[in-house]
Structure formats: structure tokens, C-alpha cells
Amino acid sequence: MAEIPFNRSPLLGREKEYVEDAIGRRRLSGDGFYTNAVSEHVKQRLGAAEVYLTHSCTAALEMAALLIDLGPGDEVIMPSFTFTSTANAVALRGAKPVFADVSIGSMNIDLDEIEALLTAATKAILVVHYAGRVPDMDRVNEFARERGLVVIEDAAQSYGSFYKGSPSGTHSALSTISFHDTKNVTAGEGGALVINDPRFIERAAVLREKGTNRQQFLQGQTDKYTWVDLGSSYLPSELTAAFLLAQLECSDTITDVRRGHWKRYREGFESLTKRFSVSLPDQETADQPVNGHIFHILLPDSGCRPAFLAEMKARGINCTFHYVPLHSAPAGLRFGVAPRGCPVTEDAAARLVRLPLFYDLTPEDIDYIVSQAASALGNLEN
């Protein structure tokens, strides 16, 4: 069997056609035909008030932090088990990430921890949808509403997922999507800011256009185009948007295939749990389905992970792991706090292994990988 990479960009068929068409239009900067088509597509799918395409989810998170006027003295509660961008967006504004522990079955923020981390300085809760599974947003929102906190969703991993039947990314004022190459639907590098609270729409357009009122100017609402607020350059080019549109048009297919892979992995490893002490992610439920973004297992202990990864690599299967818990990372110690510690995060992050999961895998590949994992686990015991 040929080497199995950890990830491979999906190709759905119309990417070249759309990129060529974008080139032929002789206007490649942002907010052209394809950017508008993508924004409209995502906006319709989600039923959002507005969607702004960005060059990354990182950029969308930075916009969200600007939009809620985060600044020195403010605290934002977020999981320690996430990508650096979640915390950077907050720290860049001079505000403090307050790291919470996760629930081991979902690796999502432990909702019981949020209340314990609340202080007079808490301004927002930044919820991450690990592996595409949306946490109990009704509970988060009720808690936030009672205390006047803003909720932001880092929905980087959850495009195509749902919570209680409605699309991921629609259960808070602001949410951010990633279209990075490692995500289910890709533009190479890309992202979007989803605005569900209309009061943020106008200012978001200004932030995204380098702090200018260019959009109002183009719409004839002002006769001058000038610097009116903070901002940066958050627009992707039309080439990126063209590629992305082709992917988005097939996002249901991508999700179905990846979710099928996830379920096959889970069944396969379930049968191994009788022989080996590996832990699996929680089963999906009707209210909180998965989108097949990540499939991970937790090994019996952290000591055996390097050997397991090496055993898999020797079998031509590229597995990986993440994240270094942010509360213990050098910048996390400098810019954030974890007043209650994050013992579950520390334990799980040290034992977690991610299996290859991408659109082009076949069910046979999954069965092969599971059988090789069984043999690798067997070798570790000897």
C-alpha cells in the first residue's frame, strides 16, 4: 500500500475553471465577482446577517476582537486546548486570555469551568468547536446573556456542522470560519467572519478595508473615501475566492464523505478498545453531529506516543498530534492566565493522536489504518 499522508487538499472538479475565469475577468483584488459569490453562498447557507470573506480565520478572529472593543483590563474565557490564533486575537488587543479546561469526550471547553473563571473583568467567552463538534451553545448563551457577556465562536473547524439542527457559526454574535488547507473546505489560506448581530456589520466593513469607508463610498453613500477607524487588510484575492467557490458548492459531499470516515474510524477503534486501553471521542448525537474534521484517539499514556507515531510511520501512515496547551506555552504564560489549571487538557494533549482524515481516503484505507494501529498498539505492549 502506498504511503498515506496525514492530509491532502480535496479537489472537487471546478476549481481550475473558476480560477481561470477569475483571471479572465482582469480584476484580481478582493471584493470582486468571486468574493461576492462566496460571501453570498455562505450567508445563504448559514442564514447569517452578513458574511465577510477574509484571508484567514486568524484575520476574522482579529476582526471580532476589534469589533467588541477588547482592550487592556478585559478578560476573555477560552479553552487552553486550541490553536494559537484564538488567544492571539485577544492578546493583540492587550486583553487577557483566561484559559479553561476541556471535557475529555469532546475536547471542547468544559462548560462547568466557565462560571468558576468569571471575574468582574470578563468581557467575552470564546468558544472553540473542536473537531467540528459544536458545544452546548444554548447553555453558553444563557449564561452569557444573564451576565452581559459577548459570545464569539471560533468555528474554524466546524463548517458544515450543526447544533440542534441549525448550521455551525450561527449561535453567537460573531463567529469565524477557516478555509485553510487543513480544514474540510479549503482555499489554501482563507477564512470568513460571520456576523449574526447586525450592529457589527457596518464597522466590520470598515475594519476589513484598512479602516476606510471605501465600501460606503463605492455604494455612493459618501462622497469621500477616507480613514475613519482602525483597520487592516483582511481581504483575500479573487483567485482564492474562485477556488473556494468550487469547494463550497460541494461542501455537503465533502462533509458526508469525511463524516463517513469519522464513523468508520470510530467503529473500527471501538472494536479495539476491548484489547487496548485507547479512549475515543464521544459518539455524535442528533443535536451535536460531527463534520468529520478530526478523528483522534487517546493512547493509554504519553510515554508511548512517540513509539506509536514511529510504528505508524514505519507502516507508511502519517499520524500527528496537537496542541501544546496554550496555558503552558511560553506566550500563554506571558499573555494569559489559567487560575484553575487545566489538568484534563494537559493529560489529554499529551496522549492524543490524530489519524489521517481527508476527502480522498477510501473506507478500505480506514480499515487498513485501523488494522495497522492495532498491530502498532500490540507491539507497544511487548
Give the residues lining the site for ligand PLP (CB under 6 A): 56-58, 82-83, 85-86, 128, 154, 156-157, 178, 180, 191
Minimum CB distance to ligand PLP smaller for 65 or for 373 = 65
Minimum CB distance to ligand PLP smaller for 158 or for 212 = 158
Closest distance to ligand PLP from the beta carbon of 301 (Å):
26
Helix or strand or coil: residue 114? helix
Closest distance to ligand PLP from the beta carbon of 277 (Å):
28
Closest distance to ligand PLP from the beta carbon of 80 (Å):
12
Cβ atoms of 282 and 107 closer than 8 Å = no
Closest distance to ligand PLP from the beta carbon of 221 (Å):
31
Cβ atoms of 75 and 121 closer than 8 Å = yes
- Angle at Cα 232 formed by Cα 227 and Cα 237, nearest 5°? 115
Minimum CB distance to ligand PLP smaller for 85 or for 288 = 85
Minimum CB distance to ligand PLP smaller for 141 or for 182 = 182
Q: Return d(Cα 344, Cα 112) in angstroms, integer.
A: 13
- Three cell numbers written together for 238: 479573487
Minimum CB distance to ligand PLP smaller for 278 or for 357 = 357
Minimum CB distance to ligand PLP smaller for 56 or for 291 = 56
Q: 127: part of which helix (H) or strand (E)?
A: strand 122-128
Cβ atoms of 168 and 134 closer than 8 Å = yes
Closest distance to ligand PLP from the beta carbon of 323 (Å):
9
Closest distance to ligand PLP from the beta carbon of 378 (Å):
32
Q: Return d(Cα 175, Cα 171) in angstroms, integer.
A: 8
Q: Return d(Cα 250, Cα 12) in angstroms, integer.
A: 7
Q: Return d(Cα 86, Cα 80) in angstroms, integer.
A: 9
Q: Return d(Cα 336, Cα 338) in angstroms, integer.
A: 7
- Count of C-beta atoms within a 10 Å radius of residue 314: 11
| CA atoms 343, 344, 347, 352: torsion sign | negative
Closest distance to ligand PLP from the beta carbon of 87 (Å):
10
Phi, psi of 253 (to 5 degrees): -65, -45
Closest distance to ligand PLP from the beta carbon of 294 (Å):
9
Minimum CB distance to ligand PLP smaller for 83 or for 200 = 83
Closest distance to ligand PLP from the beta carbon of 128 (Å):
5
- Three cell numbers written together for 48: 447569517
Minimum CB distance to ligand PLP smaller for 86 or for 372 = 86
| Among 380, 160, 136, 138, residue whose Cα is nearest residue 282 | 136
Minimum CB distance to ligand PLP smaller for 180 or for 258 = 180
Q: Which residue carries 459531499 as its cell?
A: 253
Q: Return d(Cα 213, Cα 312) in angstroms, integer.
A: 54
